[in-house]
A and B are shown apart, each in its own frame.
Chain A
């Protein structure tokens, strides 16, 4: 019995030990400690190290997490504590051994930064609490106690009385909610939604004026990625074609606006709006050219072909062949922004407005497409291509249509993006951009507009706001994708299917006509 208990806990302790070692090797421990100290209001100057206390706090939290996750749910309290003890000890021993090496580095004064770039002596000292040779013991003790604490917390919070307490709170809350619902006056029910939209509209109008250009930048970025996400969702989420080169269409839009509306290299200066339109058109044309020959391919082949297409476009854009035409690797500078009624309309506030309006429009269009014959045909194709075709859906045209419409959104976003940055270059259209958009869909929830917005905010907005983790954000992002897929594959805000029968029934009731039965009666 004991062996069964010990071995998984040992493994867990070992795993977390390795995780912690990696944390130390990439200096993530110091970063987290810094974040913690900020959380507690300490004023940390960039580049300086946080207080040792916060490192201790971080390690305790880590140990508690280990203890919490090691104690199995259905075990007795004593077993839980035992598991946590084993895991904590293992963790402590692993890190203790690691500490010995680190300490040796400090003592001998070896600088390993030639190979392990992040392992600065100061960070090591901080991690060792500056205690030198006793720090292994300190860590051992700390992790063991913290792990036990975590387990204890689990025992307490998951105990019967606690769960009863939570249940009580929950039912009380639900009761309150129901009561509130019953008490809402009729006008709120009727106009509540409208009022909410009005409020959001007002906020969207006034906030960009107030909150400064950095926030405008972030909101604009998120908005652009929402538009891109909607476009890709039409291709991937609705019609089920795995597209990995979406950035190519984005590039089409961006470069169209750039080439037609910048002094160099051509100086056509067509104006923003017409060139945006041409950008959308170009993206659609690219989609048709790509789509016609490859539409019949199976999923994974399509994925690699579209990926190749994206790379082709990017490489062509920066190649010598087209340097005179596209500006080569240096890209195109000084792209002019839009004018409206003869006035320049290109401050960052204006761009926020443009993006928000376009975003709302995109959502609107998407919604209408989804609830139409075409949208349903796409969904059918995604679910089961063969059967969809045998049900009368023309696969080729519908897939191509999805590709074109998705590309149009990308072209639109690309055009705005180029004008807003006043610059576009091949590096704006890397494979990573396509992957980012795809990840937004998946993380947020395929086919779910709130999901896409949430996803865009999580993946593009949060990292912009949390500038401290700049170096780590792609790492966290990659890890997050894996964890999301394992723990919540349907996305943060999963899509729901419309309840057509219920809605229609309600409508009929409102109309006063009783729901008429069919032939059965």
Chain B
């Protein structure tokens, strides 16, 4: 074979792509800092109490995002797939909680003082507990069924396939909820004890503001749940098997771990967290409709990626961070509140440009060749 003799080629190195990336980042960053500087130092029209208020709402939203984000991260860590229907699982949890409150609210009796009260007001703790238990159970069940029906048959398929299936399941669940419960936006009936808008009054720098009860409930409960989950994954047998399955499915199976069982349990756990988040969302924001899971779902997924997908502390951090960015960001940068989602995504893109695996995600070495 006469291989054409080709003169050796020479190549000059260029650092242009890297340079472009850094220049891009620098411009965006300096713009951010400039905006921050003008709003906070130059204009200085916001009093500390406003910042505190924004901080509180950021923490609350962040807690919810974190809980949902953990579900994304758990599933991603184990199956390497984006469980696109996770937001819908949360929606189902929200609806379950709604029906519990409707039911407890409908049961009325005369209390010892002679007033007519409903069960939810007479026994607020019980009804809240009930709502969370039912919400978490129903959401966990739907997560379990979702995996069993829509994902399990696709375990070995190329990665696009389960994603499409997840998108399909998401659309299906949304529309099922719409057909079942009508597209109406309904009101969550909180027990009076944690009525929306009520809260502890505190004074910050001379101005009064309230810390909403629902916010406190949401935040503290999400912290407790996150802590419980983290301990579970670190310490328990199930957590260990989950990590084993995440690292290598076939080896885990050889070690005697029931891979399918672990995956099912993962979906159940992430469903429970999403269900709790859903009930919190309902209690705090007060609205429930078929579309309620969509945006929080997307946001939570964003937070999971932000923190480093597959990494549980990353999901918590990402969720909190995203909540803060959304609530404080627009004010701090002096842009319209409508653009909070834009801000969230822009920050995601910027972080991913500089840390392609998220904030806490491990930097993947050059992949095994």
Complex contacts, B181 vs chain A, CB 8 Å: 115-117
Chain B interfacial residues counted at CB < 8 A: 61
CA distance A236 to B309 in the complex (A): 22
Complex contacts, A489 vs chain B, CB 8 Å: 154, 157-158, 161
- One digit per residue, 1 when the CB lies within 8 angstroms of any chain A CB and 0 when it does not, for chain B 12-45 equals 0000010011001000000000000000000000
The answer to whether the Cβ of A475 comes within 8 Å of any Cβ in the partner chain is yes
Complex contacts, B49 vs chain A, CB 8 Å: none
Please give the distance in Å from A27's CB to the nearest CB on chain B. 7
CA distance A386 to B161 in the complex (A): 22
Please give the distance in Å from B82's CB to the nearest CB on chain A. 6
Contact check: which of A26, A115, A299, A478 meets B169 at CB < 8 Å? A478
A481-B1 in contact given A117-B181, A471-B179 (Cβ < 8 Å): no
Complex contacts, B182 vs chain A, CB 8 Å: 117-118
The answer to whether the Cβ of A468 comes within 8 Å of any Cβ in the partner chain is no
Please give the distance in Å from B141's CB to the nearest CB on chain A. 12
The answer to whether the Cβ of B287 comes within 8 Å of any Cβ in the partner chain is no
The answer to whether the Cβ of A433 comes within 8 Å of any Cβ in the partner chain is no
B153-A486 in contact (CB<8A): yes
B176-A303 in contact (CB<8A): no
Q: Which of these binds chain B: A128-136, A184-192, A310-318?
A: A310-318
A304-B342 in contact (CB<8A): no
Q: Which of these binds chain B: A36-44, A290-298, A416-424?
A: A290-298
The answer to whether the Cβ of A270 comes within 8 Å of any Cβ in the partner chain is no
A481-B168 in contact given A293-B353, A308-B302, A315-B342 (Cβ < 8 Å): yes
Give the residue name and chain of the A residue nearest to B305 (CB): A304
Give the residue name and chain of the B residue nearest to A26 (CB): B179
A300-B76 in contact (CB<8A): yes
A315-B99 in contact (CB<8A): no
The answer to whether the Cβ of A273 comes within 8 Å of any Cβ in the partner chain is no
B168-A482 in contact (CB<8A): yes
Please report which residues of chain B, range 299-356, place their CB below 8 angstroms from some CB of chain A when the two chains form the complex.
Answer: 301-302, 305, 309, 335-336, 338-339, 341-342, 344-346, 348-349, 352-353, 356
A321-B335 in contact (CB<8A): yes
The answer to whether the Cβ of A345 comes within 8 Å of any Cβ in the partner chain is no
CA distance A210 to B27 in the complex (A): 57
Complex contacts, A438 vs chain B, CB 8 Å: 164, 167
Give the residue name and chain of the B residue nearest to A487 (CB): B153
CA distance A489 to B173 in the complex (A): 21
A26-B180 in contact given A293-B349, A297-B356, A300-B309 (Cβ < 8 Å): yes
Interface band, chain A: 35 or more
B180-A442 in contact (CB<8A): no
The answer to whether the Cβ of B257 comes within 8 Å of any Cβ in the partner chain is no
B168-A308 in contact (CB<8A): no
Complex contacts, B1 vs chain A, CB 8 Å: 518-519
- One digit per residue, 1 when the CB lies within 8 angstroms of any chain A CB and 0 when it does not, for chain B 130-153 equals 000000000000000000011001
The answer to whether the Cβ of B175 comes within 8 Å of any Cβ in the partner chain is yes
A299-B159 in contact (CB<8A): yes
CA distance A472 to B154 in the complex (A): 26
The answer to whether the Cβ of B170 comes within 8 Å of any Cβ in the partner chain is yes
A300-B154 in contact (CB<8A): no
B172-A321 in contact (CB<8A): no
Please give the distance in Å from A118's CB to the nearest CB on chain B. 6
Give the residue name and chain of the A residue nearest to B170 (CB): A478
Contact check: which of B338, B345, B356 meets A298 at CB < 8 Å? B356
Give the residue name and chain of the B residue nearest to A482 (CB): B168
The answer to whether the Cβ of A435 comes within 8 Å of any Cβ in the partner chain is yes
- One digit per residue, 1 when the CB lies within 8 angstroms of any chain A CB and 0 when it does not, for chain B 243-276 equals 0000000000000000000000000000000000
Give the residue name and chain of the B residue nearest to A240 (CB): B160
CA distance A307 to B99 in the complex (A): 33
CA distance A297 to B305 in the complex (A): 12
Please give the distance in Å from A482's CB to the nearest CB on chain B. 4
Please give the distance in Å from A519's CB to the nearest CB on chain B. 5
B339-A22 in contact (CB<8A): no
A115-B349 in contact (CB<8A): no
The answer to whether the Cβ of A319 comes within 8 Å of any Cβ in the partner chain is yes
Give the residue name and chain of the A residue nearest to B346 (CB): A312
Please report which residues of chain A, range 227-268, place their CB below 8 angstroms from some CB of chain B when the two chains form the complex.
Answer: 236, 242
Complex contacts, B369 vs chain A, CB 8 Å: 386
Complex contacts, B302 vs chain A, CB 8 Å: 304, 308
Complex contacts, A480 vs chain B, CB 8 Å: 168
Complex contacts, A309 vs chain B, CB 8 Å: 345, 349
Complex contacts, A304 vs chain B, CB 8 Å: 82, 301-302, 305, 348
Contact residues of B with A, CB < 8 Å?
1, 17, 20-21, 24, 76, 80, 82, 99, 102, 149-150, 153-154, 157-165, 167-176, 179-182, 184, 298, 301-302, 305, 309, 335-336, 338-339, 341-342, 344-346, 348-349, 352-353, 356-357, 364, 367, 369
In order of increasing CB-CB distance, the 3 nearest A-B pairs are A481-B168, A478-B172, A117-B182
